[in-house]
Amino acid sequence: MSQYNDYYGGGGSGGYVAGSPYGGANSPGGFGRKSETSHSLRPMTIHQLLNAHQAHADADWMLDDTEIGQVTIVAHIVSVQAQATNSQYILDDGSGHIEARRWKDSSVEDESEKLGIVEGAYVRVLGSLKMFGNKKYINATFIRPVASPTEVYFHILEAMTVTLIWERGLPPRPGQSPQEAGLKTSSAYSAQPLQNVDSEQYAHLPKLHRAIIAFMQSQPPSDVGVHVSAIARAVGGDAVSISDALDKLSDDGLAFSTIDESHYKLAA
């Protein structure tokens, strides 16, 4: 059973859990295989959420070559719109605005106002990033008021720290070199120039398909494969074309999905 940090809500409502690069948890089974990162909780700013992207509608959210699972933000409530089935909050943390939607449990009395979750208050929100009508929002699973002003500053520093860890790796311990600490010198995927695919095996393929294969061949060996967003950035083209090309390569037995439908590996 997950052990949640009460600072983030406790009681299973949300929080850091042991096991991920930034304290994330493994999700219970029954929902298909996903990477640990996609089931982890990451502190973020609204600006980062607005900059997140998907390779296609069913793909994981990504920021700087890193998957985004559950997220937590600390922000000021600009407005509240209570409806029969959910409450909608417009949030502002100084880096941008985003809407958070929290669905109501009809069997439990809504005590948001009693708890101080009202316009003008600062709150911590936990949930997942969603998209509807080309508009991003947070599907909130937990909201609580911020009791101390220091939590606002703590969250900003924490979000910065996690981002730097993903970009550069963990900082070295005293007496440890950056190489020993595993500091990164580049992104998760190598920025190597694409090579031409001259093999007769691929000669019949369209240019986009060959470019995808060339990029995947240029990456270090990995059981996980390559994320579709990295492929899209490397070869160009729109999300639909990339998705169709990967489907075609899979149908032809040239590539296959690995841990989920967003990671692909060459068959040979």
What are the chain's domains? 6-168 (2.40.50.140), 207-266 (1.10.10.10)
In this prediction, residue 199 carries a pLDDT of: 61
What is the arithmetic mean of pLDDT over 117-122?
A: 93
Q: Which of 24-28, 110-114, 167-171 has the lowest mean pLDDT?
A: 24-28
Question: Residue 128: is its pLDDT beyond 90?
Answer: yes
Give the DSSP H or E segment for 258: none
Residue type at 50?
A: L
Question: Residue 90: is its pLDDT beyond 90?
Answer: yes
In this prediction, residue 37 carries a pLDDT of: 60
Give Cα 138 to chain centroid, integer Å.
Answer: 12
pLDDT tens sequence across 188-201: 444 444 445 556 67
pLDDT tens sequence across 226-243: 888 788 877 877 778 888
Tokens 């008021």 belong to which residue?
145
Taking the C-alpha atoms of residue 146 and residue 117, their distance in angstroms, rounded to an integer, is 9
Highest mean pLDDT range out of 162-171, 200-209, 226-235, 251-260?
251-260
What is the arithmetic mean of pLDDT over 84-93?
A: 93
> Do 9 and 144 meet the contact criterion of CB atoms below 8 Å apart?
yes
Question: Residue 57: is its pLDDT beyond 60?
Answer: yes
Alpha helices in 130-266 (DSSP H): 149-168, 178-181, 207-218, 228-235, 239-251
Taking the C-alpha atoms of residue 212 and residue 138, their distance in angstroms, rounded to an integer, is 32
In this prediction, residue 8 carries a pLDDT of: 53
Give Cα 117 to chain centroid, integer Å.
Answer: 26
> Which of 54, 56, 27, 51 lies closest to 40 in space, CA to CA?
27
Question: Residue 183: is its pLDDT beyond 50?
Answer: no
Q: How confident is the model at residue 43 (pLDDT cuts 50, 70, 90)?
A: very high
Q: Can you point out the beta strands (E) in the chain?
A: 41-43, 61-63, 66-68, 70-82, 86-92, 97-103, 122-132, 135-145, 226-227, 255-257, 263-266
What is the arithmetic mean of pLDDT over 4-26?
A: 40
Question: Residue 109: is its pLDDT beyond 90?
Answer: no
Dihedrals φ, ψ of 156, to 5°? -60, -45
List Cβ neighbours of 134 (8 Å cut-off, separation of 6 or more): none
Question: Residue 11: is its pLDDT beyond 50?
Answer: no
